[in-house]
Structure 1
């Protein structure tokens, strides 16, 4: 049994509260269970208890067995001096010869939960935690009230937004507060579209945006820096375009010392990709976007109309890449422009988190409101996870819905955090 179940039982008082006593027979009254501590130290803080008619205010530590206090060596940790109650599922002191004390040597009051909890509660929890379904509550999903489900989806969406915003803030920190450079790195990683996210991110760190912007008026030079540093530029001579890129890259590589930061060619993945997703074409589109837009950061932060934002991202690369997917292999017709779904993906996964992070930076919640509005105006994403949810009857109409559903699956369902989910918790306590 995980301690998460104990936290759930304690936090919501799902135990018999009449005539509570410690394992030593002292009467206990729970005035306030305290607040869940997700950092180091005792599990609950600011709890208020009456033990033997004396009011105590302090922390509560929880374990499966009483002896776990000793196993975790809390008796030697001064952070646990303020523990006023040890809550356990099973008191195993009968099989242990050692007394459980605080660090100061005082006996530690212990409350055993197992006799106080309805066995049906544990059975319902175990049914969820042992489920082999991708969504543990799939068989019971239709019994959940729509209001509770909507509330949980809102919670999941805001959690996702905050988590992604924190990732953006970390990139801003790494770029010494340069929001323009951070935006450039975010878009680069996004244009890897999962399969090539890592090499695209590595490339953006190897070629600073300021180097590309110095050559913004000459698209071919921007392409040379990106293709060459990506390790995708052919070593042998090819057509006129390749020869020109090679010449430009030799000069620019020496000028900006790019060769020493080159991405290894094997880092790029090609298997199972449609030609429209080949890294060469994505890099060509990226180069065109960087030279067409004077400031991606200003575009993303300053544009409120979602249609205009999506359209501004649907750029067409240079003429060569309108008939090529790879160097030296001409096609009759190439799907060269960045498609609408790809542009919408960038809005969802780059623009929205950027706005949320900028809201924290500026202390202006209006940017978060704009981020949410963008998600509500965009169509939902279509993938295996959203299809699973729709099969269960969850209506997914907008990107807000699909992002919330993805977060709910990835951060709750797949990790069996059912007790942290309003849906799972409702099914357990019934």
Structure 2
């Protein structure tokens, strides 16, 4: 038994509500159960109850055991002074009081809930499939599923936007610097996101902007501070980078900021994802003459954004994945899938964060529209949904399916999910609740 189930039966009133009485013996009628509170504080707000002959308006708190009220120290928390009912599954011989000493009515629900409903809930959680409702998801109306995808997609965008907002504050509320650091982390493509992010903090954008007309100097600043310049047997290109870095690192006092070479990960990476090539591509992107931030937030079409992101690095990196090791088959241009990944994981959260900062919802709407223009991602999680015959057609669908799987399905938070609630509500009708 989990508190989620208690929230579910109270929210939808799936219990026998005839001759309701509190544990203190007073009659009880539920005028409105209230609204589920997703934030801290009591579990339901704006509830309306008739206790005895008095109508109460306030909050409702739910626990498995009555004593959990004391365990969680709610009796010492003024935020719980407005609780008008404590609902529990197991009653205990405790008298609950608010911080002012007044008694809180308690309602025990364990004897009022059909055991078949509890059994079905337990079966749902015990499912060993890829997701708890794998065997029954086909029963859910597409409209319900779509509504849940919409909900979790917005949650995902807002959560990522919160990270961008934090970056914005740490970057001195400079959107250009924020964009630079955000894109640097994204160019690490998860495996090398951390050293890319560290590098962007060690070499501020204002330094790079002074040299964006000279790609060799940009590369020298980045490769040198990244700790990736080879120390022995340099070819002409490497030697030129080293000379530029020796001069610029003194000019900008960068030597002490150099990352250790072991920060970068190479194992099990395809050559196209080697950090050297990614860094060369990133350097080329930074040669863009105008505001990169403005470009990314003002361009409406995904195709145009992708063209800007699919940069060609300098000539050396047309034939190399690593320093000193030429190759005849270098995929030097940032690929379509990689550019889409940058768009999804960096540009769109930037749009949503800027939308919130400026209180201009059109930027968030543009982010959602761009997701609908992009093809669905192909990964382990999206394939799980496709195997269950859930259509994953656009990046909107794939991002929503990833969020749903990670934050609801894996945690078995079925009763916080409209799909799981819909399945149990449908079952409750068959048993006459």
Distance 1:80 1:400 in 2: 39
Question: What's the counterpart of residue 205 of structure 1?
Answer: 201
The equivalent position to 1:282 in structure 2, one of 268, 278, 281, is: 278
Distance 1:216 1:319 in 2: 17
Checking the alignment, whether the CA contact within 8 Å between 1:121 and 1:429 is kept in structure 2 is: no
Secondary structure of 2:45 counterpart: strand
Instruction: Write the mapping of 1:296-315 to structure 2, written as runs, cut at 5 A.
Output: 296-315=292-311
* Shift in Å, 1:317: 0.5
Distance 1:77 1:405 in 2: 38
* Shift in Å, 1:216: 0.6
Comparing 21-30 and 118-127, the one that deviates more: 118-127
Query: Per-residue CA shift, 1:220-250, capped at 9, x if unaligned?
Result: 1111111111111122341111111112112
Checking the alignment, whether the CA contact within 8 Å between 2:88 and 2:107 is kept in structure 1 is: yes
CA shift in 2, pair 1:77/1:366, >3 Å: closer
Checking the alignment, whether the CA contact within 8 Å between 2:375 and 2:393 is kept in structure 1 is: yes
* Shift in Å, 1:305: 2.1
Checking the alignment, whether the CA contact within 8 Å between 1:165 and 1:357 is kept in structure 2 is: yes
Query: Per-residue CA shift, 1:366-418, capped at 9, x if unaligned?
Result: 21221112111111111111111101001111111111111111121112111
Checking the alignment, whether the CA contact within 8 Å between 2:161 and 2:352 is kept in structure 1 is: yes
* Shift in Å, 1:176: 1.9
CA shift in 2, pair 1:76/1:196, >3 Å: same
Checking the alignment, whether the CA contact within 8 Å between 2:212 and 2:289 is kept in structure 1 is: no
Checking the alignment, whether the CA contact within 8 Å between 2:385 and 2:401 is kept in structure 1 is: yes
Checking the alignment, whether the CA contact within 8 Å between 1:229 and 1:262 is kept in structure 2 is: yes
Kindly indicate whether residue 118 of structure 2 is the aligned counterpart of residue 105 of structure 1.
Answer: no
Distance 2:180 2:376 in 1: 25
Distance 2:354 2:69 in 1: 44
Unaligned ranges ≥5, structure 2: 427-433
Q: TM-score, normalised by structure 2?
A: 0.95
Question: What's the counterpart of residue 62 of structure 2?
Answer: 62
Question: What's the counterpart of residue 429 of structure 2?
Answer: none
Question: What's the counterpart of residue 416 of structure 1?
Answer: 412
Checking the alignment, whether the CA contact within 8 Å between 1:124 and 1:427 is kept in structure 2 is: no
Unaligned ranges ≥5, structure 1: none
How many residues matched?
426
Q: TM-score, normalised by structure 1?
A: 0.95
Checking the alignment, whether the CA contact within 8 Å between 1:74 and 1:80 is kept in structure 2 is: yes
The equivalent position to 2:187 in structure 1, one of 178, 191, 200, is: 191
Question: What's the counterpart of residue 422 of structure 2?
Answer: 426
Instruction: Write the mapping of 1:84-103 to structure 2, written as runs, cut at 5 A.
Output: 84-93=84-93, 98-103=94-99
Secondary structure of 2:211 counterpart: coil
Query: Per-residue CA shift, 1:182-235, capped at 9, x if unaligned?
Result: 111111111111111111111111111111110011111111111111111122
Secondary structure of 1:63 counterpart: strand
Instruction: Write the mapping of 1:3-22 to structure 2, written as runs, cut at 5 A.
Output: 3-22=3-22
* Shift in Å, 1:266: 1.7
Kindly indicate whether residue 241 of structure 2 is the aligned counterpart of residue 250 of structure 1.
Answer: no
Secondary structure of 1:344 counterpart: helix
The equivalent position to 1:119 in structure 2, one of 115, 121, 128, is: 115
Checking the alignment, whether the CA contact within 8 Å between 1:285 and 1:315 is kept in structure 2 is: yes
CA shift in 2, pair 1:348/1:124, >3 Å: same
CA shift in 2, pair 1:247/1:390, >3 Å: same
Distance 2:129 2:292 in 1: 42
CA shift in 2, pair 1:335/1:293, >3 Å: farther
Distance 1:73 1:361 in 2: 37
Instruction: Write the mapping of 1:192-271 to structure 2, written as runs, cut at 5 A.
Output: 192-271=188-267
Distance 2:74 2:371 in 1: 47
* Shift in Å, 1:351: 1.6
Distance 1:169 1:416 in 2: 30
Distance 1:372 1:39 in 2: 25
Kindly indicate whether residue 392 of structure 2 is the aligned counterpart of residue 401 of structure 1.
Answer: no
Distance 1:336 1:29 in 2: 70
Question: What's the counterpart of residue 347 of structure 1?
Answer: 343
Question: What's the counterpart of residue 320 of structure 1?
Answer: 316
Distance 2:95 2:137 in 1: 46
Instruction: Write the mapping of 1:136-151 to structure 2, written as runs, cut at 5 A.
Output: 136-151=132-147
Comparing 169-178 and 38-47, the one that deviates more: 38-47
Kindly indicate whether residue 47 of structure 2 is the aligned counterpart of residue 47 of structure 1.
Answer: yes
Distance 2:254 2:372 in 1: 41
Checking the alignment, whether the CA contact within 8 Å between 2:340 and 2:374 is kept in structure 1 is: yes
Comparing 72-81 and 320-329, the one that deviates more: 72-81
Query: Per-residue CA shift, 1:25-72, capped at 9, x if unaligned?
Result: 211111122233333332222221111111112222211111222222
Comparing 386-395 and 228-237, the one that deviates more: 228-237
Distance 2:193 2:294 in 1: 23
Two-structure CA RMSD over aligned residues (Å)? 1.5
